[in-house]
Amino acid sequence: MAFGALLRESPSLAAVTTFAELGLSETTLQALRDVGYTEPSPIQEQTIPPLLGGRDIIGQAQTGSGKTAAFGLPLVEYIDPEIKDCQAIVLTPTRELCIQVTQALRAYGETKGVDVVAVFGGAPIRTQQAQLRAGGQIVVGTVGRVLDLITRASLILHDCRFVVLDEADEMLDLGFLEDVEKILSRTPSGRQTALFSATMPPPIRKLADRYLYEPEVIKVEAKTLTVDTVEQFRLEVGQKDKPAKLVEVLAVEKPTQAIVFARTKIRCDQLFRTLRDKGMNVRALHGDMSQGSRDGVMLAFKGGRVPILVATDVAARGLDISSVTHVVNFDVPISPDTYVHRIGRTGRVGRSGRAITFVEPKQQSELEAIEKHTGVKMTEWAPGAKTAAAPVEEKPHRHDKPQVDKSVDHEGPWAKLIVAAGKAEGIKPADLVKAVTSAAGIGGEAVRDVKIFERFSFLSVPEGDSKRIIEAVSGAEIKGTKISLEPVGSES
């Protein structure tokens, strides 16, 4: 059953300015208002109508472009809440991305009552089996755990009519494509498929040719995502001098948070030790680390406790953090697409960012290829250097998605809180959600059951985090009114 059977014909994209014009139902539009979304991003404008029309999609877009909503909103429209079987599956390469996608889909589908289940390695499989027995209209999972659950007959995909492959190029990098094909072979031949990838190497193109039917190809150009918000610098330095120069650059730039990209795991560990020995608060992140170690590093960095992260490209794919101010390419990326993907980690949600690329004398041709691809001439870095363009001012972003600072899968119990302010103060659900998520550093999916009355409001948050959230939010202002949270009780 295709999206087109459920919704009206998609409108022309030329005049699209709101989510309503893309053909989304009022239930979904209300969910978007609740989480504070206003206008669609370019990838959403171009992707949502053909998905609603039943087309297969190949979307080439970077992290931060809004692709989760691009496939997630049509997905929510597609689900029949009366049918409890798995109707859609989203495959992700990493646990971190699985959790982020799940949180977003739960927020989009809450008003419709859509049940989203996350399945990933490193968590008890019996718990996930129980969740699948209880429901799971949308299943979001890592490739290995999904295949494991299929093998155990705990996940049946006979009625799964929609499949999303998210960050397919990373699945390739991690060696998952064979397992992806096994999973696809268990889904109905008449399914609708959406494949998203930051880059399109030949194996991904072959996968698309084999499993997608006349897909519409949608590509968001690199300059749409990066040029306006990221100042780009180059720094020519010899190979032997690069570690010392990195220490100097970080000392001068004083980043709030920075990701230093290294090409190999060995180089990643070397740089970690170098910076640590210089007294810096730094962590490393690469594929040879255990899942537990990676989770610990991710949570520390996302929580702001670690200002500097040295990472390989694959390991950093699950990072989606608005507070990253700097990206340093210690090694020139292997392709212009990879460069765009890296520097897209900064300059998020309307903020400005700085990207500094170390270039060895023999790498001038690689640098020129990147500049041609982005359409931006990098400025030579020096202490206090600015790009030729005017500094980017902080401004509201046209797709300001809920910040996810904690990779936590909220299953309950939930604590109900009361706020001594409401409609009389001009407060709307989106205002309250934004105030709580900003002050407490949590994602929008961690705030639910928001109800606004004349003089007071209610909301629910995970019970285990409620005390911290109350302390963080109390004293925050909404439209000039200081708010405070108090517990009412708890609910499962």
More confident residue, 242 or 290: 242
Q: What confidence tens digit (pLDDT) does each residue in 24-60 have?
A: 889 888 888 877 677 788 888 899 999 999 999 999 8
Highest mean pLDDT among 93-97, 332-336, 450-454: 93-97
Local structure of residue 107 (DSSP, 8 states) = H
- Which residue segments constitute the domains of the chain, with CATH numbers given? 3-220 (3.40.50.300), 225-380 (3.40.50.300), 414-491 (3.30.70.330)
Peptide bond into 201 cis (omega under 30): no
Share of the chain above pLDDT 90, in %: 34
User: Residue 315 has what pLDDT?
Assistant: 60
Quick one: 369 exposed, middle or buried, by C-beta within 10 A (0-12, 13-18, 19+)? middle
User: Residue 412 has what pLDDT?
Assistant: 53
> Under a CB-based contact definition with an 8 Å cutoff, are residues 63 and 95 in contact?
no
User: Residue 439 has what pLDDT?
Assistant: 77
Q: What confidence tens digit (pLDDT) does each residue in 290-339 have?
A: 777 877 888 788 878 889 999 987 666 656 666 788 999 998 887 776 78
Model confidence at 373, pLDDT cuts 50, 70, 90, reads confident
User: Residue 387 has what pLDDT?
Assistant: 62
* Residue among 65, 75, 379, 87 at smallest CA distance from 222: 65
Average pLDDT over residues 362-382: 84
- For residue 378, pLDDT over 70 is answered with yes
User: Residue 383 has what pLDDT?
Assistant: 82
User: Residue 403 has what pLDDT?
Assistant: 33
Among 126-140, 166-180, 403-417, which is the least confidently predicted range? 403-417
Model confidence at 393, pLDDT cuts 50, 70, 90, reads very low
> Under a CB-based contact definition with an 8 Å cutoff, are residues 213 and 187 in contact?
no
Q: What angle do CA 138, 143, 145 make, to 5 degrees?
A: 80
Q: What is the pTM of this model?
A: 0.52
- For residue 161, pLDDT over 70 is answered with yes
